[in-house]
A and B are shown apart, each in its own frame.
Chain A
Amino acid sequence: ETGVTQTPRHLVMGMTNKKSLKCEQHLGHNAMYWYKQSAKKPLELMFVYSLEERVENNSVPSRFSPECPNSSHLFLHLHTLQPEDSALYLCASSQDEGLGSSEAFFGQGTRLTVV
């Protein structure tokens, strides 16, 4: 248990569906992240929220839409996805303090399959 909880753990969706991934952190951190992990590829940073403001959007297609209603919750809304979007989606949180060195704590991930 890392203090970061993701739901659902597994999701199968069609290309015309709309679904959302949820992440909740119980660590009092002020930054939250979405990463995509595909087989044999590096973890790809998708979005960063710091103090509930989006500070990074790594050229992610608009079919992925993040939402951060408060510092403890992060969502990733999905619509009209493609089969190549099938991957493990990981949420992480950290305490960013300027020159501080907080490590990122990861959730268990959502295994997404687009059919």
Chain B
Amino acid sequence: GQNIDQPTEMTATEGAIVQINCTYQTSGFNGLFWYQQHAGEAPTFLSYNVLDGLEEKGRFSSFLSRSKGYSYLLLKELQMKDSASYLCAVRDGNYKLSFGAGTTVTVRA
């Protein structure tokens, strides 16, 4: 099966920066996704990486290193509304999408 690891919880202050790491071991690789999920709501797509490097989208950036099986999601200028669970997901060689357990980020005033 697939193995996707990310920290369980992180806490940061409003206006700060938080980096959520994700490591994975999969059979083949066809892209890595980050999703945001607020309590009681559906996961929503944040970012996609398939080549090594950094993808920036406003306050959110995502980085990928395929050789290391590693990604991170960087959240800048944190806002209270960013308190949510952040899910790392990897599409394997058979295009199956598997998820990590999610990282709960709590933003404090």
Contacts and interface: CB of A to CB of B under 8 A. Distances in A.
Most buried by B among A35, A103, A106: A103
B109 interface: no
Interface residues of A, number: 23
Contacts of A7: none
Interface string A1-22: 0101000000000000000000
B101 A56 contact: no
Interface of B: 4, 8, 30-31, 33, 35, 41-45, 48, 50, 87, 89, 95-102
A87 interface: no
A108 interface: yes
Contacts of B102: 42
A108 B101 contact: no
Interface in A38-62: 40-43, 45, 48, 56
A104 interface: yes
Contacts of A105: 45
B97 A45 contact: yes
10 closest cross-chain pairs (CB), A and B: A43-B99, A106-B42, A103-B45, A42-B101, A42-B99, A106-B43, A108-B42, A101-B31, A42-B100, A103-B33
B42 A101 contact: no
Contacts of A66: none
Contact of B43 (A40, A56, A90, A96): A90
A48 B96 contact: yes
A42 B42 contact: no
A56 B96 contact: yes
A48 B97 CA distance: 10
A47 to B, nearest CB: 11
A2 B33 CA distance: 17
Contact of B48 (A40, A96, A101): A101
A103 B48 contact: yes
A42 B44 CA distance: 15
A2 B8 CA distance: 26
A106 B87 CA distance: 13
Nearest to B97: A104
